[in-house]
Amino acid sequence: MLELTGITKTFGGVKALQDVAMSVAPGEVRGLIGPNGAGKSTLVNVISGLLTHSAGTLTLDGAPLDGVSAQRRAENGIARTFQNLRVFSSLTVQQNIDVASYTGTASGRGGDALLHEAILRFDLADRLNEPASSLPYGQLRRLEIVRALALRPRVLMLDEPAAGMNEQETEALGEALGWVRDESDCSILVIDHDLKFIMALSERITVLNMGEVIADGTPQEVSENRQVIDAYLGEEEHAA
Ligand SMILES: Nc1ncnc2c1ncn2[C@@H]1O[C@H](COP(=O)(O)OP(=O)(O)OP(=O)(O)O)[C@@H](O)[C@H]1O
């Protein structure tokens, strides 16, 4: 269980996060949505240890993460992808995955069979021996996710995985992530602006606005929440 209490992050005078509380249960998919600048990426950066929070506490399975380096957190099972792609373009797809496998704790969670299945589900099996630089954009994004899965994470954080994908690619991505949700005990925290995608995938959703949590609930609960409609969804999405 990943647990955040009172998380605050300031950049100079800007309060990017204010008193944020959130928990992600084992195996749960939690969506994180909100308008541009709401603090979503900052929150993922704080959880992964790229940024140090200004106040509050975060724990993984009861153990405090405060002061634990980003690398250590990754070794302890917190994996992530970035808004901008960060694969090793001169290595093959397989090598990219292997590097992550060696880096991970490989403590037995998941196992090779699960990783093999992930390569199939994320539609990379035909491209394993090709350099990552030869992959089209959608496949590169999927490679990033499989590489993160190769770390055998307990918590996988995805920062806008569907960004730049067409409807078909987004649908396929949603199906593959649904498989991760159903077949592994890995929790997923996913940011995206594609509401159809996020509503279908997430069991619970946290909504941030100007650094504060304004709603936390099932997709249906948050889509009917007046504050969320006013701050982010708008009447049209609500009606849809
Ligand atoms: N390194 C930084 N230095 C100064 N301000 C920052 C920094 N990173 C983020 N901010 C500010 O913190 C706030 C939250 O930004 P953040 O990128 O977390 O929002 P977001 O919800 O992820 O937005 P988007 O949906 O556009 O990606 C914004 O006001 C942003 O300008």
Pocket flag, ligand 1, residue 14 (CB < 6 Å): yes
Give CA–CA dist 220/203, Å, rounded: 10
Q: 65: domain CATH number?
A: 3.40.50.300
Give CA–CA dist 28/146, Å, rounded: 18
Q: What pLDDT shows up at residue 108?
A: 43
Where in the sequence is the domain holding 143, given as residue range(s)? 2-239
- 38 Cα–ligand 1 center, Å: 7
Atom 11 of ligand 1: nearest residue by CA position? 16
Residue stretches of the chain with pLDDT short of 70: 103-111, 235-240
Q: What pLDDT shows up at residue 87?
A: 85
Which atom in ligand 1 lies closest to the alpha carbon of residue 38?
Answer: 21
Q: What pLDDT shows up at residue 103?
A: 67
Measured CA distances, 29 to 87, 176, 200, 201, 238 (Å): 24, 13, 10, 7, 22
Q: What pLDDT shows up at residue 135?
A: 93
Give CA–CA dist 227/237, Å, rounded: 13
Pocket flag, ligand 1, residue 11 (CB < 6 Å): yes
Pocket flag, ligand 1, residue 41 (CB < 6 Å): yes
Stated pTM of the model = 0.90
Number of domains the chain is built from:
1
Tokens of 105: 């704790």
Which atom in ligand 1 lies closest to the alpha carbon of residue 41?
Answer: 22
- 233 Cα–ligand 1 center, Å: 20
Q: What pLDDT shows up at residue 54?
A: 94
